[in-house]
Amino acid sequence: MQYEDIKQVQSIAKITWNTTYKGIIPLEVQNNFLKVNYSDESMKKRMERSIVYIAEVEGEIVGFANYSIVRDGGKVELAAIYLYLEFQGKGIGTALIQQAVKELLGIKEIYINVEKDNKIGMYFYEAKGFEVVKESDVEFDGHILKQVRMVKKV
């Protein structure tokens, strides 16, 4: 990801968050999260402290995946993976996971925290070999979420 990609990634995050979490997370809570976590400054820090892969189709950015650096024991967090809706189901998300497995040296395990009611996300991760290892209630800006941690061994 380059600095000039920030605006497009912010757009993808907003559109996909609003679609993905409709009826799960109140819109005001979503917008507060996006305002803080996808601000220009937060995006610049994200680029410095983690790995962000961009997915392009015909020169247009259509999605992204954000991974932590490889931690002790080869663990990597998939902090975010979002694609415009019309590009979902075309193998692009799978390619973003495969790219990390190929390029992140020392990776042994990818984990992600997923909202349990995010059925499309849950189905995607299960289809990619992720397994639920933990369920918990998490407070998110005054809203309780049912969260699952999923892990994929690589």
Determine, yes or no, domain membership for 18: yes
Give the pLDDT band (50/70/90) at residue 140: confident
Determine, yes or no, domain membership for 52: yes
Count of domains observed in the chain: 1
Which amino acid would we find at residue 87? F
**75-97 pLDDT tens trace:** 999 999 999 999 999 999 999 99
Cα torsion through 101, 102, 104, 107, rounded to 10: 50
Determine, yes or no, domain membership for 126: no
Choose among 150, 151, 142: nearest CA to 107: 151
For residue 61 the two structure tokens come to: 């950015």
Determine, yes or no, domain membership for 114: no
Determine, yes or no, domain membership for 19: yes
Question: Can you name the residues that pair with 51 across neighbouring β-strands?
Answer: 67
Contact between 15 and 30 under an 8 Å Cβ cutoff? The reply is no
Which position has the token pair 């189901």?
89
Measured distance CA(101)–CA(110) in Å, rounded? 9
- Claim: this prediction has a pTM higher than 0.85: yes
Determine, yes or no, domain membership for 35: yes
DSSP state of 139: E
Q: Which domain does 88 fall in, by range?
A: 3-109
Measured distance CA(137)–CA(116) in Å, rounded? 10
Determine, yes or no, domain membership for 117: no
Determine, yes or no, domain membership for 148: no
Instruction: Give the mean pLDDT of 8-22.
Output: 94
First to last CA, the chain: 24
Percentages helix, strand, coil for the chain, rounded to the nearest 5? 45, 35, 25
Measured distance CA(104)–CA(7) in Å, rounded? 25
Measured distance CA(146)–CA(129) in Å, rounded? 21
Residue 91: give its domain's CATH number: 3.40.630.30
**16-74 pLDDT tens trace:** 999 999 999 999 999 999 999 999 999 999 999 999 999 999 999 999 999 999 888 89
